[in-house]
Structure 1
Amino acid sequence: MRSLVLVCGVLIGILIQCFRWPERDLPPAIGGFVHPAFRKVYHVFKKNIENNKEKGACFSVYHQGELVVDLWGGYSDIEAGRKWNNDTLSIMFSTTKGITAILVALFVQKGYLDYSKLVSNYWPEFGKNGKENITVEMLLSHQAGLSITNGTIDIRLLKSDPRKVEEFLEEQRPRWKPGSTYSYHVITFGMYVDVLLRRADPKHRNVDQIFLEEIASPFGIDIHYGLPRSEVYRTSRFVPLSLTNVIKSMLGSFSLHKFNIFLKIMNPKSLFMQASYSGFKQELTFAAYNSPDLNQIPLTSFLGFGNSRALAKIWGIIANGGKYNNKTLLSPELISLLGSPVVGGESWDGLMNIKLGRGVFFLPTPQGHLSVGHPGYGGQTAYADLQNHVGMGYLTSYLKSFALGDDEQFLQYEAAFYECLEKYKKGDR
């Protein structure tokens, strides 16, 4: 009986969404450029824009320090008829976590942090209620047991009274023995890591200021932790993931993994959904992501804003040895640590079976080896392919998938790029 109810509910949801599916009849819009050797990527992107599979997105690639693909298309706001432009910013969701991993690695390089030391070494009040033995590495690799919080707190306190947030976090207890297994800290990752960075910083700056001064300004990276009000005018309008797109994604390339994710997101009591709504009060709905008041709050779990060019650039620097314009972002030693898995296998909540590192995920490339980076809710993806010296980024504000790192359109662009790369390396241009 329960199965029949579920099936009926899904069918009703699909019908409702299908009636809402038609959008304004706007002409296809596409901009950017590609290196001649990678023209196929442009054609695939253009086709998706024209057939309305891609409503608004950007895709970029750096190879050996050179920007070889930089495409944007569709609309940043369909209702307003506003086109996606070369400087459009979009919410990055959990792709933000990967950028934070780079920032933490920079702090390790500067001697402000040590992966092997206890979090309480930098944040003494953290070390209680079963959190005494949690290391920086455990926290970054989702092994701390802190994915689900006991109670919630107002997200606005991150700006108005950060000490109250710290006190809330200090009282939490791990859900499993830290270091024994892992489970994705969907929301709480940034809550804890942001405090850690502020405590470890000699100037005790907030994370948005740290990133601006240490990475964004020196290396010309158009990424923001929290959206400055001065940049609201160029931000895309967020369109939540619909049930239709979840079903399409699952059926388009069916796998037991995707089906498992679908069952968990349909169950509000699942461990994963508890983690997805942990930390902050329930008024933090998806509709709120179009509110400048929310978006200006810096939180490295998901409230990062950028574009594919910026993502590809920063990961391209990592993939190309850590240097850019005679400046060093990360040393080879730190890149090696960032590119080394820490934990893997099935997660505590049964949702994942992948390799994780110090704030990063390891995603398969079409060539079969692993990249280092981070996917994000709805299709966002950014990574460094250390083997091929490639930095890649993709963002969309029209969310199309739930599974991490396997958005249908992104995979098409990725496959086209690697096909061209193989020919390019052989001299067939």
Structure 2
Amino acid sequence: MTTPAATTVAGECDPRLAPVRDLLARKLAAGDEVGACLCVMSGDEVLVDLWGGVADAASGRAWERDTLANTYSLTKTMTALAVLMLVDRGLLDPDAPVARFWPEFAAAGKDEVLVRHVLGHTSGVAGWDRRMTIEDLYRRREAASLLAGQAPWWRPGDGSGYHALTFGTVLAEIVGRVTGRTLGEFVAAEIAGPLGADYRIGVTEPEPERIASMIAPPPTGFDYGSLPPDSILRRTLLNPAFAPSVTTDPDFLAAELGAANGQGNARSVALMQSIVTGGGTARGRRFLAPETVERIFEVQADGVDRVLGAPVRFGLGWALPGPSMPGVPDGRVCWWTGFGGSIVVSDLDRGITIGYVMNKMAPQLVGAPNPNDYVAAVYDCLDR
């Protein structure tokens, strides 16, 4: 039986967006959500900061204001933001070869792989040739070295193949080479810390009572194992595959997987990505020049992605509006999602940032129904 506590929505909501609060409450009551949080910002003003449900289904522990959850691939937007900050400082050039900053990466024909190819998922380095485990990824320098030694799986720049995990490994290595700091250290010191945002890539002091337990999605019915061994989709998504139950393990939390293990909530996600929405400025502090933010909208690929099997228009580090996420409107808008449904939308035209994080996972890698519903409801309210 669903308890009243499991369906209670707490937090603040601008009256104009009351239907968004009602939608979250309905989804909690119907079991479409177990625990979730939602944040909407207009510039620096928080219009919606809501949370509800339970963070741990087994114990019934409530989802609180400071609950954190694994955001899966939404983490990539934080990694991309870090890379853009280095671009802004003149320390990185998206049009330069990765090997300029990481010489070993030039091996096996990758001398022409550009930084923007990685940011746009077009580098051809979508996965590892060697069989990997999730524990192998924790040893980030060794995982990066393996990628440096292998050949690209297709001609760099020739369309996208989602870099599900290598996005974080390659870009974290570049950040480390340029700054002398790990990706997690850079994000903490240069983005999350100055903003007071509770988002971490690498939780070295875990607080179990704050971490939500992810709930695995229902099976899709598709047998990935039936794909040919040389399938790019299989080699990317199953190498390694890891269960959602791993995301509360101390070793996973402490690892810095810049593509998949950022821990945060809707408030911290929206706050950090409001830098993009604000043309480089958030809470009165300039993080990026406006012209650096505009580079996000340089289209890197526009077509059916080799891994996702869906049409995705990739800009520089984020996706741009397209049919795979119909709730996201057209315009100067960028977004990305995490496996299971978490999403962030930065709408520069309207000055709106939307963050959503949850623990009950949908099976879709892109285009899950809940985030689409929330995003559409926000725009419906604000466009009235």
- Could you tell me the TM-score, scaled by structure 1's length? 0.82
- The reply on whether 1:186 has 2:164 as its aligned counterpart is yes
Say if 1:71 and 1:143 are closer, same or farther in 2 by CA, change over 3 A. Answer: same
The answer (yes or no) to whether the contact 2:216–2:243 under 8 Å persists in 1 is no
The answer (yes or no) to whether the contact 1:264–1:273 under 8 Å persists in 2 is no
Say if 1:350 and 1:35 are closer, same or farther in 2 by CA, change over 3 A. Answer: closer
In the aligned structure 2, how far is the partner of 1:421 from the partner of 1:335? 24
Residue in structure 1 matched with residue 73 of structure 2 by the alignment: 94
Q: CA deviation at 1:409?
A: 2.1
Q: CA deviation at 1:366?
A: 5.4
Q: Please, which of 366, 371, 378 is the counterpart of residue 410 of structure 1? A: 371
Q: Which runs of 5+ in 2 are unaligned?
A: none
Within a 5 Å distance, the mapping from 1:374-385 to structure 2 comes to 374-385=336-347
In the aligned structure 2, how far is the partner of 1:27 from the partner of 1:205? 41
Residues 293-322 of structure 1 show CA distances to partners (whole Å, capped at 9, x for unaligned) of: 222101111011100011111222321222
Q: Which runs of 5+ in 1 are unaligned?
A: 1-21, 247-261, 424-429
Residue in structure 1 matched with residue 245 of structure 2 by the alignment: 287
The answer (yes or no) to whether the contact 2:127–2:235 under 8 Å persists in 1 is yes
Within a 5 Å distance, the mapping from 1:20-419 to structure 2 comes to 27-153=6-132, 155-156=134-135, 162-201=140-179, 204-243=180-219, 246=220, 263=222, 265=224, 267-269=226-228, 270-278=231-239, 280=240, 284-349=242-307, 351-363=309-321, 364-365=326-327, 367-369=329-331, 371-404=333-366, 406-419=367-380
Rg larger in structure:
1
User: In the alignment, residue 182 of structure 1 is paired with which amino acid?
Assistant: S
User: In the alignment, residue 191 of structure 1 is paired with which amino acid?
Assistant: T
Say if 1:349 and 1:316 are closer, same or farther in 2 by CA, change over 3 A. Answer: closer
Q: CA deviation at 1:162?
A: 4.4
- Could you tell me the TM-score, scaled by structure 2's length? 0.92
Residue in structure 2 matched with residue 257 of structure 1 by the alignment: none
In the aligned structure 1, how far is the partner of 2:226 from the partner of 2:244? 18
Q: What is the aligned-residue RMSD (CA, Å)?
A: 2.2
Task: Report the secondary structure of 1:344's partner residue.
Answer: strand
In the aligned structure 1, how far is the partner of 2:355 from the partner of 2:69? 12
In the aligned structure 1, how far is the partner of 2:224 from the partner of 2:342? 18
The answer (yes or no) to whether the contact 1:95–1:375 under 8 Å persists in 2 is yes
How many residues get paired? Answer: 378
The answer (yes or no) to whether the contact 1:221–1:314 under 8 Å persists in 2 is yes
Q: CA deviation at 1:188?
A: 1.2
Say if 1:213 and 1:34 are closer, same or farther in 2 by CA, change over 3 A. Answer: same
Task: Report the secondary structure of 2:301's partner residue.
Answer: coil
Say if 1:230 and 1:111 are closer, same or farther in 2 by CA, change over 3 A. Answer: same
